[in-house]
């Protein structure tokens, strides 16, 4: 007979974190670079007060438990207030990806049945482009400039000014929804994920672990990822829980702007996709000695694989890149790319081999690799589909029954990533299943080819896709952007790759292009590249 524990059944909900941030960390700062580039400073004490006022205002507007409130906002303290105000009023904040086409945004809003909208005044022209295709009951405008809020819309600041400090939270359960995101659609249509309070709380605990992100009260974190992309990797929830100062860059994600914030605020942790880190590296290399950064910055990188060459070069500037692997469906952080204690004295190259991998799973994120229906050994060699499960891994998509096949019968989520697991538990991502080049029954990793090509001194960017081939099913084509003022021929690149790859793995064609198409969150948009090269004729 099992004997129940004698512990309280205490719900894991966001108001507890908000209360704690207000009590324990009232003076910890939130620095925002607003859309007009001005810097504002506020703190968790203010966030606590204003988020509760917003929750009270939403109650007056009639918000009901589970109502979706969409946000169309950049990263700044106002958006952060919405991250807390909406869930603490019992609603679900649905962060809209403002880089999508207006028609796509409208379709997502209709699918999510968003009831209210909160929008930055500078984004009203974007809202106007899809206004007639959606029907928000109320639209709340966050004013930045002096221009008045258009007639019929609500002024966020006026709403807050009408509220005192006597808000009381509605009854809440830990499994109810708090935040909502749609996947960025790199490999297909967007799908909605609703994050429960419980998932967000547990995910925040894990971001505090040294082996994941190690967030704490001595840190200053710069999330260089939009709040609408997988909750800015959970920082808006975890940082107030752990008392971490936040620096929010608004829409300004260029290398110079970010370095400016890093220097001015002495940022020691930052996270972003490889494209953003590449912008930072370019600025550091172009202007050596210009930036006075902290001696060591922990740079978390995910979303796609950072080329090893970039990791090495950022090391020279004291920026230590570590992988965080994750997905919109995993809240999003699932792993941390730290070296284990016994590896610290390993030779440098062996350590880079480990650092190029995606890290090991956080506690309670379980991972397995499945190849042709069989669970693969943790040998670092057998590649198959990565499957995960855990308390902050999605158990379904929002109203998308046709997607049920993404979960196995025994309850694991099929990530669509092809990976290996090594004896130490590190995940090594080979490619996304849809991006692997399937050549004559063998797989070729487009990611490996890209990352090696990007180590060539003349190459700025390289993206490899598989295109149909009459004999081999698919063969790789490399689209290459050269650095300004540099030159390289197809033969040079082939020879360079030939040092690391077998001849059958080398791209059959190299095409020099001006730019690689990107997704709304800065990843290579391989779907667009495949369309561009549809009908490609291989030389026989
Ligand atoms: P989308 O699926 O639309 O691109 P996500 O941002 O959720 O939206 O992308 C998750 C995917 O990003 C993962 O399945 C994986 O392919 C890739 N990814 C995430 N982190 C890493 C990483 N550290 N290294 C390589 N790829 C990564």
pLDDT at 36: 86
Cα three-residue angle 320-522-275, rounded to 5 degrees: 30
* 391 located within any domain: no
* 422 located within any domain: no
Residue closest via CA to ligand 1's atom 12 equals 303
Q: What is the CATH number of the domain that holds 496?
A: 3.30.300.30
pLDDT band at 372 (very low <50, low <70, confident <90, very high): very high
Tell me: pLDDT of 396 over 80.
yes
What the block records as the tokens of 407 is 């979960």
- Report the candidate in 103, 523, 3, 22 with the shortest Cα–Cα distance to residue 274: 523
297 Cα to the center of ligand 1, angstroms: 23
Summarize pLDDT for 285-307 with one digit per residue, the tens: 999 999 999 999 999 999 999 99
Q: What is the CATH number of the domain that holds 165?
A: 3.40.50.12780
Residue closest via CA to ligand 1's atom 4 equals 186
Whether the Cβ atoms of residue 424 and residue 367 lie closer than 8 Å to each other:
no
Rounded mean pLDDT of 172-194?
90
CA dihedral 165, 166, 172, 174 (to 10 degrees): 40
pLDDT at 15: 98
Residue written as token pair 């549809």: 534
Domain end call among 323, 357, 376: 323
* 355 located within any domain: no
Distance from chain centroid for Cα 503? 35
325 Cα to the center of ligand 1, angstroms: 7
Distance CA 317, CA 507 (A): 33
Whether the Cβ atoms of residue 323 and residue 357 lie closer than 8 Å to each other:
yes
Residues 6 or more apart whose Cβ sits within 8 Å of residue 320: 296, 297, 298, 299, 314
Rounded mean pLDDT of 370-376?
97
Q: Residue 222: which domain range?
A: 14-323
pLDDT at 220: 98
Percent of the chain with pLDDT over 90: 92
36 Cα to the center of ligand 1, angstroms: 31
Mind telling me the catalytic residues? 183, 329, 438, 443
Residue written as token pair 């690149």: 493
319 and 442 share one domain: no
Cα three-residue angle 114-116-119, rounded to 5 degrees: 110
The backbone torsions φ and ψ at residue 261, rounded to the nearest 5 degrees and listed phi first, read -65, -40
Tell me: pLDDT of 255 over 80.
yes
Tell me: pLDDT of 310 over 80.
yes
317 and 448 share one domain: no
Summarize pLDDT for 53-111 with one digit per residue, the tens: 999 999 999 999 999 999 999 999 999 999 999 999 999 999 999 999 999 999 999 99
Residue closest via CA to ligand 1's atom 2 equals 186
Domain end call among 281, 300, 323: 323
Distance CA 123, CA 207 (A): 31
Distance CA 366, CA 349 (A): 29
| Between 472 and 217, residue with greater pLDDT | 217
* 311 located within any domain: yes
What the block records as the tokens of 351 is 């350590």
Domain end call among 323, 347, 368: 323
443 Cα to the center of ligand 1, angstroms: 20
- Nearest atom within ligand 1 for CA of residue 337: 23
Burial-class residue 380 by CB neighbours within 10 Å (0-12, 13-18, 19+): middle
Tell me the three state secondary structure of residue 369.
strand
Rounded mean pLDDT of 369-377?
97
- Nearest atom within ligand 1 for CA of residue 329: 7
The pTM score is 0.93
309 and 443 share one domain: no
303 Cα to the center of ligand 1, angstroms: 4
Tell me the three state secondary structure of residue 237.
helix
Taking CA atoms, 488 is separated from 30, 73, 371, 460, 480, in Å, by 46, 42, 39, 11, 10
pLDDT at 480: 96
272 and 127 share one domain: yes
pLDDT at 442: 87
CA dihedral 426, 432, 437, 438 (to 10 degrees): 90
pLDDT at 146: 65
Pocket of ligand 1 (CB under 6 A): 183-187, 230, 302-305, 323-328, 358, 415-417, 429, 432, 523
Q: Which helix (H) or strand (E) holds 246?
A: strand 245-248
Tell me: pLDDT of 540 over 80.
no
Taking CA atoms, 354 is separated from 337, 338, 508, in Å, by 8, 9, 30
Summarize pLDDT for 104-150 with one digit per residue, the tens: 999 999 999 999 999 999 999 999 999 999 999 999 999 987 678 99
Whether the Cβ atoms of residue 218 and residue 197 lie closer than 8 Å to each other:
no
* 290 located within any domain: yes
DSSP state of 424: T
304 Cα to the center of ligand 1, angstroms: 5
Q: Into how many domains does the chain fold?
A: 2
pLDDT at 474: 93
Within 372-458, strands assigned E span: 374-375, 384-389, 413-421, 427-432, 437-439, 442-444
- Nearest atom within ligand 1 for CA of residue 304: 26
88 and 222 share one domain: yes
| Best mutation site among 193, 304, 454 for ligand 1 pocket (most ligand atoms within 8 Å of CB) | 304
**Average of per-residue pLDDT values in the chain:** 95
Distance CA 395, CA 385 (A): 17
| Best mutation site among 100, 227, 327 for ligand 1 pocket (most ligand atoms within 8 Å of CB) | 327
- Nearest atom within ligand 1 for CA of residue 190: 3
Distance CA 491, CA 512 (A): 13
């Amino acid at each position: 007979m099992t004997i129940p524990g004698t512990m309280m059944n205490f719900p894991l909900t966001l108001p507890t974190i908000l209360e704690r941030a207000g009590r324990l960390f009232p003076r910890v700062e939130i620095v925002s670079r607003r859309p007009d580039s001005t810097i504002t400073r506020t703190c968790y004490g203010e966030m606590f007060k204003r988020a509760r006022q917003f929750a009270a205002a939403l109650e007056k507007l009639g918000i009901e438990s589970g109502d979706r409130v969409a946000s169309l906002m950049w990263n700044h303290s106002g958006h952060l207030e919405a991250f807390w105000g909406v869930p603490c009023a019992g609603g679900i904040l649905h962060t809209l990806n403002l880089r999508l086409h207006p028609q796509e945004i409208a379709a997502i809003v209709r699918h999510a049945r968003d009831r209210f909208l909160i929008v930055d005044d500078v984004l009203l022209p974007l809202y106007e482009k899809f206004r007639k295709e959606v029907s928000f009951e109320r639209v709340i405008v966050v004013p930045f400039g002096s221009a008045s809020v258009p007639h019929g819309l609500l002024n966020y600041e006026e709403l807050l000014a009408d509220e005192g400090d006597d808000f009381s939270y509605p009854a809440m359960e830990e499994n109810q929804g708090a935040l909502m995101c749609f996947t960025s659609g790199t490999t297909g249509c967007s799908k909605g994920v609703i994050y429960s309070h419980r998932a967000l709380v547990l995910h925040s605990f894990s971001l505090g672990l040294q082996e994941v992100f190690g967030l704490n009260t001595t840190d200053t974190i710069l999330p260089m990822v939009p709040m609408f992309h997988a909750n800015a990797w959970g920082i808006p929830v975890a940082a107030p829980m752990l008392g971490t100062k936040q620096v929010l860059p608004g829409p300004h994600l260029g290398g110079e702007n970010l370095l400016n914030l890093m220097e001015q605020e002495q940022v020691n942790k930052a996270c972003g996709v490889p494209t953003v880190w590449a912008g930072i590296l370019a600025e550091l290399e172009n202007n050596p000695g210009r930036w006075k950064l902290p001696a060591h910055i922990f740079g978390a990188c995910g979303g796609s694989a950072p080329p090893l060459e970039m990791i090495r070069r950022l090391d020279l500037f004291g920026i230590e890149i570590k992988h965080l692997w994750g997905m919109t469906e995993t809240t999003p952080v699932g792993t941390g790319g730290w070296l284990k204690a016994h590896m610290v004295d390993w030779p440098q190259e062996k350590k880079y081999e480990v650092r190029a991998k995606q890290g090991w799973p956080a506690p309670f994120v379980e991972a397995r690799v499945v190849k042709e229906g069989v669970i693969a050994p943790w040998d670092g060699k057998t590649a198959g589909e990565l499957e995960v499960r855990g308390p902050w891994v999605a158990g379904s998509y929002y109203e998308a029954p046709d997607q049920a096949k993404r979960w196995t019968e025994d309850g694991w989520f099929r990530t669509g990533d092809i990976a290996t697991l090594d004896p130490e538990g590190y995940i090594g991502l080979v490619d996304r299943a849809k991006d692997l080049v399937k050549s004559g029954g063998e797989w070729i990793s487009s990611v490996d080819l890209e990352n090696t090509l990007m180590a060539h001194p003349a190459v700025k960017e390289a993206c490899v896709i598989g295109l149909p081939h009459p004999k081999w099913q698919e063969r790789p084509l490399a689209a290459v952007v050269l650095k300004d003022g540099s030159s390289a021929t197809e033969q040079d690149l082939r020879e360079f790759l030939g040092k690391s790859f077998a001849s059958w793995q080398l791209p059959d064609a190299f095409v020099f292009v001006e730019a690689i198409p990107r997704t709304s969150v800065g990843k290579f948009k391989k779907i667009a590249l495949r369309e561009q090269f549809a009908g490609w004729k291989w030389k026989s």
